[in-house]
Amino acid sequence: MNPPIGFVLLTHQNPSQILFLCEQLTKQFDRAPIVIHHDFSKSKLNQDLFPGNVSFVADWENTRWGGWGVVAGQLKATRQLYSQHKPDWFVVLSSADFPVKPARSILEDLYGGGFDAYLYHRRIGYCMLPLPLGGFGAANFAHPAWERLAFERYVALGFGFYKLATRLKWKTKALYLRQQFFIKRFTPFDGSMECFAGEYWLTGNRSTAEALLSDNARNRRLTAHFERRPNPDEGFPHTVLCNTPSLKVSPDSKRFSDWEGQINHPRTLTEADFPRLLASSAHFARKFDFNPQQLLRLSSLLENRS
């Protein structure tokens, strides 16, 4: 019998927090399989301390913010999870995530939700709205102007001169060819596919995993394209899944995050946020600093609810 759920963790620091999250997931989800892609070049980690249901990707990738290694690491961990365990569902997490719904409620939502994947996404087309200087605020990926950022990252043909522009204090750091004539000839978005992008964190079923891991001409073409683009984690899985006609993808990622006043990362959550977390429809929240007492109180609240 296949396990109902498994987890893919993408980690690079805070070994104690990684271990704590694995112990809590193991307890709450009845020893569900967990596969960790850990970038050992960023921090050391003692694998022997982890529960028996946890395994690690041996041929791990070097990862950096905004680089392809994050996507490659997730694909390797997902492939290992499905080659060894074949769960009905999988959830991609970082070490700074934590469940905010009881396991039973999460599984009921997934089995009864009618979707194959839960991933915030939006179709990316031509957009020239001005980018806000102070970031996208609480709306973040849903901000109207975020489409321009995504269009320049993933669709337009960009020619950057960032170092020179920074040294000379130029506002413009890249030039873009935005015309469909060039896009159709030099990108995968030639009319047979559309670009989709959004928040990275994904929950999906076995069909979703198969679509991401399939070695077909479309995925190879998208891989070659996104490997050369910035922040491919916010575009590659969305484009693969939303161009798979057999999949039903919900734009609700089932994640809680607070981007109010933030630019590159969501606000760190505290115990003061617990009422909002528990009242939301989210399954997991991010991000948390490692405070075991605080997280155990949240875990206790979930146990009482279940």
Amino acid 121: pLDDT = 98
172 phi, psi to nearest 5 deg: -85, 125
Burial of residue 35 (CB within 10 Å: 0-12, 13-18, 19+) is buried
Q: Name which of 284, 298, 304, 296 is nearest 89 in CA terms.
A: 284
- Domains of the chain (ranges, CATH numbers): 5-122+196-305 (3.90.550)
Q: Name which of 93, 282, 68 is nearest 201 in CA terms.
A: 93
Amino acid 164: pLDDT = 66
Q: Name which of 276, 231, 283, 279 is nearest 252 in CA terms.
A: 283
- Tokens 């399939």, located at residue: 214
- Would you write out the chain's pLDDT as a tens digit for each of its 306 residues? 899 999 999 999 999 999 999 999 999 999 999 999 999 999 999 999 999 999 999 999 999 988 999 999 999 999 999 999 999 999 999 999 999 999 999 999 999 999 999 999 999 999 999 999 888 999 999 999 999 999 999 999 998 876 766 776 666 778 999 999 999 999 999 999 999 999 999 999 999 999 999 999 999 999 999 999 999 999 999 999 999 999 999 999 999 999 998 888 899 999 999 999 999 999 999 999 999 999 999 999 998 876
- Tokens 């964190």, located at residue: 201
Tokens for 53, please give them: 């249901």
Amino acid 219: pLDDT = 98
239: number of CA atoms within 13 Å, CB side? 28
Amino acid 133: pLDDT = 85
Amino acid 263: pLDDT = 85
Q: Is the peptide bond preceding residue 287 cis, with omega within 30 degrees of 0?
A: yes
- The answer to whether 157 and 183 have CB atoms below 8 angstroms apart is yes
* Nearest-angstrom CA–CA distance, 184 and 64: 30
* Nearest-angstrom CA–CA distance, 271 and 295: 8
DSSP helix, strand, coil percent of the chain (3-state; round to 5): 40, 15, 45
Tokens for 101, please give them: 């719904």
37 phi, psi to nearest 5 deg: -100, 105
Amino acid 122: pLDDT = 98
Q: How far apart are the first and last CA of the chain?
A: 24
CA of 105: how far to CAs of 76, 150, 295, 300, 303, in Å? Answer: 28, 34, 19, 15, 11
